[in-house]
Amino acid sequence: MDAPRRLWVRLPRSVVALLFFLAFGVGGLILGCILFPPLVLFGARRAMRALVRASYRLFVGAGRVTGLFRVDLSPEDRARFRAMRGRVVVASHPSLIDVVILLAYLPNATAVAKAAAGRNFFYSRIVNAAFLVNDDPRRVLDEAKDLLARGGNLVIFPEGTRTPADAPARKLHRGAAQIALHAGAPVPCVSVTCNPPVLAKGQPWWDVGDRVIAFTLRVCGEIPVPAPEPGTVPHAAAVALTEQIRGLLFPPPADGEKT
């Protein structure tokens, strides 16, 4: 495709992306300022999380209808998602909207959010009411254990931040392993890929390519976790589980493959 034609393809897609982000931000304000306050009064966090997931499903559906992006999920993995209960779902994190896509498909799920997200103008009320804000590790462990015991699912990105697909090294945090061991919850690993890359770290929001963006979700295995024992989680156990997660999410290239 020549440069002028490419520009006229990319420009309308950038306008659509702008409208998406505006709608997402305004939707967050409506949820947080109008729909959430009465639910907060009654402590209905499950209902708030259901509203968030419904809004994310609407977002994903609009992406498909407008041709901005699509989500590829095999029938087998779709069935695995529907069957998940009480799982710590760990996923790779190439794009800003990975959590939106995952929560749109996972039942009764929420995510661990950074403390900074709880101070965002558009999303703070949603994040503080419906997510687990990682500002107190002990409280997050206990809240996560309670949520998982009631059959909820918890999404965590062990990389902690967006990482390019070709990153030479990936540092994984042990928070997901700590929560899973504390709760005795199995750990499904979900590979998230995005082609072409969009909303990556340092990438402008308007750079949405000249074709439909394909987000591919693939369940690459589930790690069983034994029932928790009284006391704190041993450091060695968390390190070992984190390395198991690394092996499923980011397996080393086979002989002959490019790194």
Q: Tens digits of per-residue pLDDT, 232-244?
A: 778 899 999 999 9
Q: Is residue 140, in this structure, part of any structural domain at all?
A: yes
**Residue 35 in this model has a pLDDT that exceeds 80:** no
Per-residue confidence at 6, pLDDT binned at 50, 70, 90?
low
Per-residue confidence at 183, pLDDT binned at 50, 70, 90?
very high
Average pLDDT over residues 103-113: 94
Altogether, the residues listed in the chain come to a count of 259
Q: Is residue 8, in this structure, part of any structural domain at all?
A: yes
Domain span at residue 9? 3-249
Q: Is residue 53, in this structure, part of any structural domain at all?
A: yes
Q: Is residue 259, in this structure, part of any structural domain at all?
A: no
Q: How far apart are CA 169 and CA 256, in angstroms?
A: 19
Backbone angles phi, psi at 215, to 5 degrees: -95, 125
Q: How far apart are CA 218 and CA 207, in angstroms?
A: 25
CATH number assigned to the domain comprising residue 214: 3.40.1130
Q: Is residue 100, in this structure, part of any structural domain at all?
A: yes
**Residue 201 in this model has a pLDDT that exceeds 70:** yes
Q: Record the tokens describing residue 149, joined without a space.
A: 């015991």
Q: Is residue 258, in this structure, part of any structural domain at all?
A: no
Name beta bridge partners: 215.
Answer: 71, 194
Q: Is residue 184, in this structure, part of any structural domain at all?
A: yes
**Residue 258 in this model has a pLDDT that exceeds 60:** no
The overall pTM is greater than 0.85: yes
Q: In what order do the strands lie in the sheet with 132-134?
A: 69-73, 213-223, 187-195, 88-91, 153-156, 109-114, 132-134
Average pLDDT over residues 153-179: 87
- The count of domains in the chain is 1
Per-residue model confidence as pLDDT tens digits over 54-76: 999 999 999 999 899 999 999 99
Average pLDDT over residues 187-211: 90
Q: What is the separation, in whole angstroms, between the first and last Cα of the chain?
A: 29
Which residues have C-beta within 8 Å of that of residue 220, sequence separation ≥ 6?
189, 190, 191, 248, 249
Rounded percentage of the chain residues whose pLDDT exceeds 90: 50
Q: What pLDDT score was predicted for residue 8?
A: 62
Contact 93, 163 (CB under 8 A): yes
Q: Is residue 63, in this structure, part of any structural domain at all?
A: yes
Count CA within 13 A, CB hemisphere, residue 135.
Answer: 9
